[in-house]
Amino acid sequence: MKNLFLSILSWLLHHANQHGKDQHFYKIKNKILAKYGKHICYEVQFIEGKKCYSCKGTGQHQYFDQYGFTLATTICWNCTNGWYKRSCWNILSLVRFGKYEFHQPLMRVYEDPQSKCKTFNGYVERHPSRLTGFAITILFLIYEKGYLKRWWKSAGWSWKSYWWRPSSWLNNLIHIIKNGGKSIPAIRLKVWLNNILLPITPQKKQPVYDQFDEDDLPF
């Protein structure tokens, strides 16, 4: 029975992990892996930095006069020594839970650690599926106290345009309940009724003046 529970839990965590960045989920993920996961090895993730576009990576900003001569040179306010975002190396712990593997961040450094561990460039790819939303919701319900209250506050704050999709029905229903007459459908209905039911105001006839040639005027 325990093995079945762990198998289902690892399956839920695997699909929920494709959701992307969510601090609420990361807390749950860390808690589950700390209890059931098994450390395998370390890996290094390299994130390439971005040079500043304001100073073109020089770290200095120059002011010119109308003739192109330099008036003043100051330290660029938009970066650090020409780097808008510094290159970094993230030390990750590879953890196995069930038949799935997960990365756990341990530390970040800004110099090449010269590690013999496996190194990969860029961010870990996420591939959300139709099961991702279901899996992360189940984990929130089990592990996060007060999730329903947080969900109610965040749900329905906007109207989903593709209202005919089943995935949008609940959000849009909450949107209508919360906003009532100020909800998007209510506003659209009022506009439609105003355009259809209100009588069209007849336009006033403009007075018609006789046209005269300037030579025919008596003065």
| Cβ atoms of residues 54 and 66 within 8 Å | no
pTM over 0.85: no
User: Pick from 24, 22, 13: which is nearest to 145 by CA?
Assistant: 24
pLDDT recorded at residue 2: 80
| Residue ranges in the chain modelled with pLDDT below 50 | 212, 217-219
pLDDT recorded at residue 198: 65
If DSSP codes are grouped into helix, strand and coil, which group holds residue 111? Answer: coil
Q: In angstroms, rounded to a whole number, what is the distance separating the alpha carbons of residues 176 and 159? A: 9
pLDDT recorded at residue 219: 44
203-212 per-position pLDDT tens digit: 566 665 555 4
17-29 per-position pLDDT tens digit: 998 788 999 999 9
pLDDT recorded at residue 210: 54
Indicate the domain borders of the chain. Answer: 156-198
pLDDT recorded at residue 217: 47
Q: In angstroms, rounded to a whole number, what is the distance separating the alpha carbons of residues 169 and 69? A: 62
pLDDT recorded at residue 68: 67
If DSSP codes are grouped into helix, strand and coil, which group holds residue 198? Answer: coil
DSSP secondary structure of 26-69: HHHHHHHHHHH-EEEEEEEEEE--EE-TTTTTSSEEEEE-TTS-
